[in-house]
Chain A
Amino acid sequence: MNINDFKSNDPIAWCSGCGDFGILTALKKSLLKLGREPKDILLVSGIGQAAKLPHYIKSNCFNGLHGRAIPPAVAAKIANNKLTVIVTTGDGDCYGEGGNHFLHNIRRNTDITVIVHNNQIYGLTKGQASPTTDPGYVTKVQTEGVVLEPLHPLEMAIALGCAFVARGYCSDLEHLSWLILEGINHRGFSLIDVLQPCVTFNKKNTYEWYSKRVYKLNDDKSYNPNDKDSAYRKAAEWGERIPIGIIYKAEKESYEEKTGLNQKTALIDENIDDIDISPALKKFI
């Protein structure tokens, strides 16, 4: 296989220079390394610029409702646990509209990978604050600047028991595609929050702004992503220096393992043509 096996013919509708392009390329590279055919991969998204990504890759795509990327992804994985299921979502889609699903699906821990294109702004609706917009940033709605505390997705995820919490940067393709592949190979819910400039609506968190600040955790040999306490501190690091890499990683039983789903016939392979329900009727006799 080569990278063109994942090429889609659908014309791309992103702004030129959008950080999403980097994520798209990195994801294709990860999929190529993964070695599975497009037909065995399912990309699920909600609504937003990030949510268009599944159309730009050749693989199965379910592009659902705003905020609702994770629930159908999880259920598709449960229905056919042989699929590699990846969610491509944004900071508004995942942390705002879909916040409740984000929380509870970390608890559910099905084996899916969630890539959040975090550009700290609403792009598709033209520039309102997102849950991760920096305080003080002025928009057409937040006319005096954002007064809400930003949401801290990585700290939240660690607190909720997510066993793979990572941050990537859309301009570091090699690093990002490595992270995504690590996330896919991790058994259970993997969160990869990807820093990504919005060239049209976010005038603060630009390529230049990020490039000055990001540093790789891989370069610090003393950092141990299995240590929850130091992971919390790394996850909270934001400002002059922003870490990218695997922030926290742990061994944890997935939903599939806990429910025995991985041991049984996949639900889609069950023959349902003539199910004999007489054993179920016994309790009514």
Chain B
Amino acid sequence: MLNELTIKIAGEAGQGMQTVGFNLCQLLKRTDFYIFANQDYMSRVRGGNNFFQLRISQKPSQACRKLSDIIVTLDKQSVAIHGTNLSEGGILIMDSKKFNIAQEERYFDIPMYEMALSLGSDLFVNSIVYGLISGILGITNGNIFEVIKEAFSDKGEELISKNIAAAKAGIDYAKNNFKDERFFMTARTGERTLLMNGNEAIALGAIRAGCKFYSGYPMTPSTSIMNEMAYHAKDFNIIVEQAEDEIAAINMVIGASFAGVRAMTATSGGGLSLMVEGLSLAAMTETPAVIVDAQRPAPATGFPTRTEQADLNFVLYCGHGEFTRAVFTPGTIEEAYYLTIHAFNLAEKYQIPVLIMTDQYLADSYRNISELDRNAIKVKRFIISREASKNITNYKRYELTDSGISPRAIPSWINDVIYADSDEHNQEGHITEEARVRESMVEKRLYKKMQGLEKEVIEPKSYNFEKATIVIIGFGSTFGAIKEVSDASSGKIGFIHLPQVWPLPKKGLTDLLKSKQKVITVENNASGQLAKLLHSEADIKIEKSILKFDGRPFNADDLIEEVNKLL
């Protein structure tokens, strides 16, 4: 009996790898497996070579594997591209007649295109393959057809019944031609119920946190956050506005926030570059703003559909002038949800911009997770309530306080007016050039707020730490791969994950690393930006950084190999 299995579906853009992949996820989810799915796609609508990779396991997994046990090729070139990534004993499903390739021992030949055409269109290849894999995995219950009905529910009865026929043909083909049970797996318990990706989790977190205004400009890999917000907008009375550019997007977020609602935008590095002046505006006017940077490889347009963690320096320091911000780096889908709620609370409390960093890998990776805990992070308001506002007749927007936080009033609620300004301003919010006022305002925005933020920083999460002789530090989406390396090391390799990189949890890190000699970082970038941050901010010496900057995520197997070289 297998503990885990990786399935890859590869082909040209537009051939429907995602459809097969999603349908398999839906099916496997109903049979209570742990699922981790990631996507690798090119920046084009048709052609090229894309794949959908699905890992199913008895134990939860949060990283992809290097090799696949079942590879489905939907076109000829996929056989050559992905054939080398087949595990020992794995099978590569292909159509020798269609691809005109000679049969090899590890190939499993199925005339899928001929079968599909006999049903009326080569589009049915998708459901044939879906049925075939179900058969190979030994899943034969009625869920198979339920999934198809749901997936094609808006396509009409005829197409549903044809796809069901196609799936049946795939199942029968497996029954007759793939007689061994080596890919059969038993299902686990039924605790995981939600299948979602990182971006969807961020959107749900925003909805839960009370975000009522979202504006953004589409940019891969952030766009699915906007799509998800729009999908739920009507039900939750949220306005989702596609802005004319990212500059408008951030300025709209700030305007809505000034008026009194929680607001968010999401983009990728290029879009964030355009937003930077606005980020500085949020800080200067002390207006809460939540900004998501779904990273992709840069500079400039870079690899639009691939993954990287190279915006760290940029996100930490972007914006002219000196001001306070907080930066969160979720590593899992659950963390993306909880940290988003926290980001809204914190942005409102300190009246600052808060950034959430994700990347294409986390954004587009699916896992089935347990119910999101409604009470894990409470929504807390930090504005003058409507009730208390009524008695306010003499309001100073930027009143100087010990905490650096001025009580924030909402326009029209108080019996006075509010002046907010991007120029340096006095306590009333009017423009000033007084030297002493300038100093106290800088102190307010920079030092005082920072002191508060540092007190409630999210501590680093440590794993397998006690006996570890070597410690890996990571942030964001590398969580899954590093955790797997650490878990497989019999306690030799400890792991520190940073859900928050700014303010950096200096004390927590220093305490953890007190007795550890060998500390390395694992980063999806070329210059070891995290290592440099740890050194400059917390005086932590990083012996080595394992870096990857080919636009692809770390897989657990390659990373184990890399780390083992250091042991």
A residues apposed to B, CB below 8 Å: 10, 13, 38-40, 42, 44, 47, 52, 54-55, 58-65, 68, 71-80, 82-83, 100-101, 103-104, 108, 259, 261, 264-265, 267-268, 270, 272-277, 279-281, 283-285
A259-B239 in contact given A74-B252, A75-B256, A80-B260 (Cβ < 8 Å): yes
Q: Which of B208, B212, B243, B256 has the most CB of A within 10 A?
A: B256
CA A72 – CA B256 in complex, angstroms? 7
B281 near A65 (CB under 8 angstroms)?
Answer: yes
Known: A62-B420, A268-B261, A280-B207. A83 touches B213 (CB 8 A): no
Tell me, in angstroms, the Cα distance from A173 to B144 when the chains sit together.
75
Contact across chains for A78 and B244 when beta carbons are under 8 A apart: no
Chain B proximity of A5: nearest CB distance (Å): 11
Q: Find the A residue at minimum CB distance from B383.
A: A268
> Is A274 in contact with B379, judged by CB distance below 8 angstroms?
yes
From B241, B416, B423, B430, give the contact of A78 (CB < 8 A).
B241
With both chains docked as a complex, state the minimum distance between the C-beta of B93 and any C-beta of chain A, in angstroms: 29
Check A275/B213 contact, CB under 8 A, given A63-B420, A71-B255.
Answer: no
B contact residues around A265 at 8 Å (CB): 237
Q: Determine if B259 and A100 form an interchain contact, defined as CB atoms under 8 angstroms apart.
A: no
* B207 with A76: CB separation less than 8 A: no
A275: min CB distance to chain B, Å:
6
Which A residues touch B3, using CB under 8 A? none
Q: Report 23 cross-chain contacts, Cβ distance below 8 Å, ordered by A residue.
A: A39-B411, A47-B422, A61-B421, A62-B255, A65-B281, A68-B281, A71-B247, A72-B251, A75-B252, A75-B256, A76-B255, A78-B213, A78-B241, A79-B213, A79-B261, A79-B263, A83-B259, A267-B213, A267-B237, A267-B238, A270-B237, A277-B372, A280-B235
Shortest CB-to-CB span from B311 to chain A, Å, is 22
* Interface size of B as a range: 35 or more
Interface stretch, picked from B12-20, B56-64, B188-196, is B188-196
Closest 8 CB pairs of A and B: A272-B210, A72-B255, A75-B255, A71-B251, A104-B244, A79-B259, A75-B252, A76-B259
**B-side contacts of A47, CB under 8 Å:** 422
> How many Å lie between the Cα of A274 and that of B381 in the bound state?
11
Q: Does B313 contact A (CB under 8 A)?
A: no
Residue of A nearest to B366 (CB): A284
Does A80 lie within 8 Å of B259, measured CB to CB?
Answer: yes
- Is B470 at the interface (CB under 8 A from chain A)? no
A282 to chain B, nearest CB (A): 10
Q: Which of B236, B374, B419 contacts A61 (CB 8 A)?
A: B419
User: How far is B416's CA from A73's CA once the two chains are assembled, in angstroms?
Assistant: 19
- B70 is an interface residue with CB less than 8 A from chain A: no
Select from chain A the residue with minimum beta-carbon distance to B235. A279
Residue among B193, B232, B251, B285 facing the most chain A CB atoms (10 A cut-off): B251
Residue of B nearest to A10 (CB): B430
Measured in the bound complex, the distance between the Cα atoms of B69 and A18 in whole Å is: 77
Decide: A76 near B258, CB < 8 A? Known: A275-B207, A281-B204: yes
Q: Spell out B's residues near A (CB within 8 Å).
A: 193-196, 200, 204, 207-210, 212-213, 215, 231-232, 235-239, 241, 243-245, 247-248, 251-263, 277-278, 281, 285, 371-372, 374, 379, 381, 410-412, 414-423, 428-431
Q: How far is the CB of A106 from chain B (nearest CB, A)?
A: 11
A75 near B410 with CB under 8 A, answer: no
Contact A79 B430, beta carbon cutoff 8 Å: no
User: Cα distance A39–B415 when bound, in Å?
Assistant: 7
Contact B423 A65 (CB under 8 A): no
Q: Are B204 and A277 in contact (CB under 8 A)?
A: yes
CA distance A169 to B201 in the complex (A): 53
Given contacts A58-B417, A279-B235, could you give 15 more A-B pairs where the C-beta distance is less than 8 Å? A55-B430, A61-B419, A61-B421, A64-B251, A65-B277, A65-B422, A68-B251, A71-B252, A72-B251, A80-B260, A80-B411, A101-B248, A267-B239, A280-B207, A281-B204
**A63, A64, A75 — which one has the most chain B CB atoms within 10 A of its CB?**
A75
B340 CB to closest chain A CB (Å) equals 12
Q: A79-B260, A103-B244 are in contact. Are A73 and B278 (CB under 8 A)?
A: no
CA A185 to CA B237, docked complex, whole Å: 26
Residues of chain B contacted by A60 (CB below 8 angstroms): 411-412, 417-419
Task: Find chain B residues with CB under 8 A from A10 CB.
Answer: 428, 430-431
CB distance from B33 to the nearest CB of A (A): 16
Contacts of A275 in B (CB 8 A): 207-208, 210, 236, 379
Q: Which of these, A13, A63, A259, A284, contacts B421 with CB under 8 Å? A: A63
A61 to B263, CA, bound (A): 19
List A contacts of B241 (CB < 8 A).
Answer: 75, 78, 108
Expressed in whole angstroms, the Cα–Cα distance for A64 and B247 within the complex equals 12
Least CB distance from A260 to B in Å reads: 9
**In the complex, which residues of chain A have a beta carbon less than 8 angstroms from the beta carbon of B193?**
284-285
* Cα of A270 to Cα of B410 in the assembled complex, Å: 14
| B residues less than 8 Å from A38 (CB atoms) | 417
**A199→B237 CA distance, assembly (Å):** 49
Complex Cα spacing A47 to B411, Å = 21
Contacts of B411 on A, CB cut-off 8 Å? 39, 42, 60, 76, 80, 83
Among A44, A64, A77, A273, find the residue whose CB has the most chain B CB atoms closer than 10 A: A64
B422 contacts A64, CB within 8 Å?
A: yes
Shortest Cβ gap from B197 to chain A (Å): 10
* Docked pose: A72 CA to B282 CA in angstroms: 11
Let me know if B235 and A101 touch, CB within 8 A.
no
User: How far apart are the CA atoms of A104 and B411 in the complex, in Å?
Assistant: 26
A268 to B384, CA, bound (A): 13
Does B412 contact A61, Cβ atoms closer than 8 Å?
no
Q: Are B379 and A272 in contact (CB under 8 A)?
A: yes
